[in-house]
Amino acid sequence: MAGDGASPKALKVCFGVKPPAGQTIRPWEFFFVVGNSQKLGGWDPNGALELTRRSPVDSSEWIGSMSGTADEFDEPLRFRYFTGYYLESSKKIRVISRWESWVSPRSVIPTIEASSSGVCRENVIDEFGYNGGRRQLSEGWLQDAEHNEILLRVHGEALKFYKSRHAQRTYRIRLMPFDLRHRESTVDDEDSQSSPSLPPLPSFSHTDIAILSNLDPSFRDQQHYGDVFQNNRSYFVYRTQTVAVEYLAFRIEFFVERSSDSTSDESKDCQRLPERVAIAYCLPSSMQHSFGKIAVPVLGRQQQPIGQISIDYLLVKALSRLEKPLKMDVSYCHHWKKRTTLEVGHRGSGNSYTKFAATRENTIHSLNNAARNGADFVEFDVQLTKDRTAVIFHDFHVLVSVAKRASSLLLEPGKSHVPPVVDLHQMAIKDLKMNQLHLLHLDHYQHDTVENSRKGSVKVSEEEYEGEDHRPFPTLVEALQNVLPETGFNIEVKYPMMMKNGCHECENYFERNEYIDVILHDVLTYAEGRRIVFSSFDPDICSIISLKQNRYPVLFLCVGATTRYVPFLDERSSTSMTAVNFAAGIQLLGVNFHSEELLRDIAPLERASAFGLVSFVWGDDLDNQKNIEYFKELFVDGLIYDRIGELKKRQNVFTVEREAKNALFKTRTPIMSTTTSRSTSVDGGAMELPRKNSANT
């Protein structure tokens, strides 16, 4: 028996991982392990342990280990694997490719599971992304101030050629990134057939492609000779990550099938291989903003312009304004517990400006009223004021009441005064500061329509007798702090879009990255244990939210094929089926469908289910209880509708589950112990809602 001064027993924990069966990682990627121990980064991926190949010959297995005393392992060691690589410009940056994102990470208790020699998990090789009978891998997020992702979209009538002989050919397109500060390793036609090798520490990543017009819209490697593009049929999305965006350029190569006229042996050997016939360059000087559309000339073999290619681009920057880095301890981006259909209160208790909701929409009172009526989630709209405060309001514009000067009014004979005459001026929320929204007399922008005059629209501005919770324009922070905590939030992030009729919802709007950073900062700072799901009609906003954080899921909100609304110009929201392909391609949680199209055809729901996507449904059709029951029979995951709980009483499903669990534990006979188990407190904490990291369970 060791004396009191004996050193604590030394323990060693081994880690081993291999790619999923039939898969490999790219040559420049590494495996890492991150966990709750500080030696594994304390869940910070930048402090994770880098693993090494078991042998130079067999690179499929990666291993590593950490050592410590028994005292250091007095609680379960929790960990996850991820793959990553390094980029460098002004500094070396670790980039996450994919990571294991189950809600519950891997776990081991070294003090119990170690062998007599003090070694734990010796010769254990885990399969990346597979644990406890479940497979789940998520893509990384942007985590450094210099870390950016560029998305390039080629679609519609993107290719235009000046001569018919060029226009009639079928082209394969390949897009290759390069750093303008470094000479390209391949400069002539023959050499460019092989992909240029990445330098030891490049400033940009591999460029992969998602073809949203294909049956499989997932991102993958580009084909060696590019992928076939057809005007008005194909929809290509390319993505590249970079730490030197000001120097990143793209070489766009055009390939066609070789002519088979020649009968030489050499020609026969290569006649089936495509040949490069044209090239284009996309330079950073042509992409001066974070979002836009450019057209670059296509040069033929003689370096003469033969046409042009149109490209939409989006620059996504890492999340700013956040005091603490995002970690890997928990993620709900792809976590969804299947249960009965969730019921979501539309704008809280319903639309009040164009319908007959009892309370003003999008107020704290309306949100809490829906929560008290049993809503599982409440849905509301968020946008920014001029002073960059995230507020809850649906429309991009309001009508500001301006009284005319009395001297300009003509008095009728026999009258000493006339009623004040008021002019209504439309103003954008983005042009009004927070205090102005509360001081000015505001009306809904459809106030003066015949239909709404019959309905008796509610004014936007509050009345003097109304309480604080009835006040319009509550901030997002106020909602996070004051709405019943067991009620989840479906936060619709508003961003104006171009309509198919040529009108824009609200021009000269905020820069997308700065806009989203404000909203994400509020949520990540104040949400605590609340369940959160983001959604947006703008597909690029969905991409930005999912790239900037690893905590909360995103739904693509689509109008689809409609006769009720003016559709958006963006092709990705034109039909529900296209929306499914987009959501699956960029790995969103799912799609929030418009009921109008689904009542005609449920095929989009079936396709979403095949991809493993979550399906919500919204729309005026849900004012009819029969339609609500119909979608419940289809087992959709969520329904968003007005006046929730007013006609049929219900109880919040998360409250019901919590009470059932508490009742179950109360019926058990407690086991007395002379020692306190640290794991017991962890399990017990899981029973209480809200709590830290309880969101979306």
Measure CA 310 to chain center: 26
CA–CA gap between residue 249 and residue 286 (Å, rounded):
10
CA–CA gap between residue 194 and residue 174 (Å, rounded):
12
CB 576 within 8 A of CB 561: yes
**Amino acid occupying residue 127:** E
Which residue is it, tokens 């050919």? Answer: 169
- Region 653-658: what's the mean pLDDT? 93
- Region 664-686: what's the mean pLDDT? 48
CB 328 within 8 A of CB 550: yes
CB 585 within 8 A of CB 218: yes
Per-residue confidence at 193, pLDDT binned at 50, 70, 90? Answer: very low
| 13-71 tens-digit pLDDT | 999 999 998 889 999 999 999 999 999 999 999 999 999 999 887 779 999 999 999 88
Which residue is it, tokens 């996850």? Answer: 80
CA–CA gap between residue 252 and residue 249 (Å, rounded):
10
Per-residue confidence at 676, pLDDT binned at 50, 70, 90? Answer: very low
Nearest to 518 by CA among 490, 484, 548, 540: 548
CB 194 within 8 A of CB 186: yes
Nearest to 560 by CA among 529, 517, 533, 598: 598
Per-residue confidence at 635, pLDDT binned at 50, 70, 90? Answer: very high
- Region 293-305: what's the mean pLDDT? 96
Per-residue confidence at 459, pLDDT binned at 50, 70, 90? Answer: low
* 36-45: b (≥16 Cβ within 10 Å) or e: bbeebbebbb
* 320 CB-near residues (< 8 Å, 6+ apart): 145, 513, 517
Per-residue confidence (pLDDT) for residue 646, from 0 to 100:
84
H/E run at residue 209: strand 208-211
| 389-414 tens-digit pLDDT | 999 999 999 988 776 655 555 555 65
Is the C-alpha dihedral spanning 261, 266, 271, 275 positive or negative?
Answer: negative
- Other C-beta atoms within 10 Å of 372: how many? 13
Count CA atoms within 13 Å of residue 529 on its CB side: 15
- β-strands 291-299, 305-317 pairing: antiparallel
| 76-117 tens-digit pLDDT | 999 999 999 999 988 999 999 999 999 999 999 999 999 888
- Region 195-220: what's the mean pLDDT? 87
- Other C-beta atoms within 10 Å of 689: how many? 19
CB 140 within 8 A of CB 333: no
Structure tokens at 335: 């976590």
CA–CA gap between residue 234 and residue 503 (Å, rounded):
26
| 513-549 tens-digit pLDDT | 999 999 999 999 999 999 999 999 999 999 999 999 9
Query: Which of left, alpha, beta for 147 (phi over 0: left; psi -120 to 50: alpha)?
Result: beta
pLDDT, mean over the chain? 87
Per-residue confidence at 677, pLDDT binned at 50, 70, 90? Answer: very low
Per-residue confidence at 421, pLDDT binned at 50, 70, 90? Answer: low
Residue 455 pLDDT exceeds 60: no
Angle, helices 603-610/576-585, rounded to nearest 10 degrees: 10
Nearest to 505 by CA among 495, 513, 515, 514: 495
Per-residue confidence (pLDDT) for residue 489, from 0 to 100:
98
| 592-633 tens-digit pLDDT | 999 999 999 999 999 999 999 999 999 999 999 999 999 999
| 569-599 tens-digit pLDDT | 999 999 999 999 999 999 999 999 999 999 9
- Least-confidence region, from 174-188, 319-333, 677-691: 677-691
Residue 680 pLDDT exceeds 60: no
Residue 454 pLDDT exceeds 50: no
Q: 252 has which bridge partners?
A: 175, 280
Per-residue confidence at 687, pLDDT binned at 50, 70, 90? Answer: very low
- Region 175-200: what's the mean pLDDT? 65
Question: Could you tell me where the beta strands, DSSP code E, fall in 367-465?
Answer: 377-384, 390-392, 397-403, 422-428, 442-444
Q: 159 has which bridge partners?
A: 309
Per-residue confidence at 681, pLDDT binned at 50, 70, 90? Answer: very low
**Amino acid occupying residue 23:** Q
Residue 164 pLDDT exceeds 90: yes
Cα Rg of the chain (Å, integer): 29
Residue 649 pLDDT exceeds 90: no
CA–CA gap between residue 334 and residue 464 (Å, rounded):
45
- What domains can you pick out in the chain, each with its CATH number? 10-139 (2.60.40.10), 148-259+271-317 (2.60.40)
CB 609 within 8 A of CB 634: no
> What is the greatest pairwise CA distance in the chain?
112
CA–CA gap between residue 199 and residue 211 (Å, rounded):
28
Per-residue confidence (pLDDT) for residue 137, from 0 to 100:
96
Give one DSSP letter per residue of 399-454, joined into a string: EEEEEPPGGGSPPPTT-S--PPPEEEEEEEGGGS-HHHHHHS-EEETTTTSHHHHH
